Structure formats: structure tokens, C-alpha cells
Amino acid sequence: MKKSFLGLFISFIIAGCATTSNPSSVKEKVSAIVTAGFPEGYQDWANTYSKTVLDKASPFYGFQRVLVNKIALPVYKNGKNFPYPEGSQLVLEFNEPTTEGPVGDVVKGMTNWLALMTKDSKAANTGGWIFEAYDGASKVKKDMDVVAGCFNCHKAVERDDYIFSSVK
């Protein structure tokens, strides 16, 4: 299985796609975006990818997992037949890396935060996807500019319905 989203995703973030040159126009776009809410039970979704980034200076620091709900899973698995169906959800979970065992294996610790994408046709300003981020402990939605912080990078994979990863 080939999983290639993280390297590409990181390169877009490092290249500065999470910035904006016109904050007032971004706020207008953000106000038109609907929210999906915290994805209760997401831990039981299909775990399709895991990776650890131990560089604390990286915006992707932590033990990461990509979890996909049942609605999105068939399209995610084959990496084609886009667009994703309405109600598809993907979570990128960032956990504190911890070590255990005699050789210090890095394992998933407490959840620091998670990014959520929900397919919703009402989210016209962001390609039909709702982008949200939540605190892992409190489950409170983070205040962020989803156009600059998420969607501008995801535009690079518009042909894949704005999703960087798949199982191939």
C-alpha cells in the first residue's frame, strides 16, 4: 500500500500556504462556511495511515493517524471515483508521542489536537469540504482561518477531491 499524503502536505505547509495576503476577504469567506461538529466515535473509524514526527518545531509534531468514516472509505481505498460522497469524513489525529518497552518504542499518547474534513455541499467556498480543528482534550473547536490554514493547501489536490492521501 502506498501512502503519500504526509510528505506532500508537509511541503505545502512549510512553503507557506498557511498565510494570506488579504485577511478581510478571508474572513468573509470563512463566515460562509458551515461546521460539522466534533466527530464523536471517530476512534472506531478505519485507521488508514500512521506516522510519527518527533521534531517539536514541526507543525506536524506527534504520532499521527488518519481515520476515515464508512462513507468515505470506498473512495479513499481506491483513490479514484471522485468526488467523495456527501457525509464523508476524514480525521488527522495528532497525539503526543510516548515511549514504552525495553527499546523505547514510540507509541500514541494523549491526543493533542485533530483536523477534520467533512464533505458537505454547503461548503462551496472550500471545494465542498468543511475544514475544522479541535483540541484533543477538551474537544473544543480551535479558532482558525480554514481557508488560509487548510483549503489553500488542499487546492493543490483538487483533482483528488482535495484529499492528499489514499490507500493504493
Q: Is 62 left (phi over 0), alpha (psi -120 to 50) or beta?
A: left
- In-domain check, residue 28: no
Q: Is 98 left (phi over 0), alpha (psi -120 to 50) or beta?
A: beta
Residue 69 clears pLDDT 60, i.e. is over it = yes
- In-domain check, residue 24: no
Q: Which residue has the higher pLDDT, 64 or 167?
A: 64
Domain count, the chain: 1
Write down the residue that cell numbers 477531491 correspond to.
161
Q: What is the tens place of the pLDDT at every residue in 8-45?
A: 333 333 333 433 333 333 333 333 445 778 888 999 99
Q: Which residue has the higher pLDDT, 33 or 107?
A: 107
Average pLDDT over residues 47-68: 90
- The answer to which of 20-29, 59-68, 80-89 has the lowest mean pLDDT is 20-29
Average pLDDT over residues 94-103: 90
- In-domain check, residue 34: no
- In-domain check, residue 23: no
Domain residue limits at 137:
5-17+41-160
What CATH number is given to the structural domain containing 53?
A: 3.50.70.20
Average pLDDT over residues 77-93: 93
Cα distances (Å, whole numbers) of residue 97 to 54, 61, 104, 112, 166: 8, 9, 11, 10, 24
pLDDT, residue 20, reads 37
Per DSSP, the chain holds a count of helices (H) and strands (E) of 5, 5
β-sheet bridge partners, residue 63? 52, 95
- In-domain check, residue 30: no
In this prediction the pTM is: 0.75
pLDDT, residue 24, reads 37
Average pLDDT value over all residues in the chain:
80
- In-domain check, residue 129: yes
- In-domain check, residue 26: no
The Cα–Cα gap between 117 and 85 comes to 12
- In-domain check, residue 45: yes
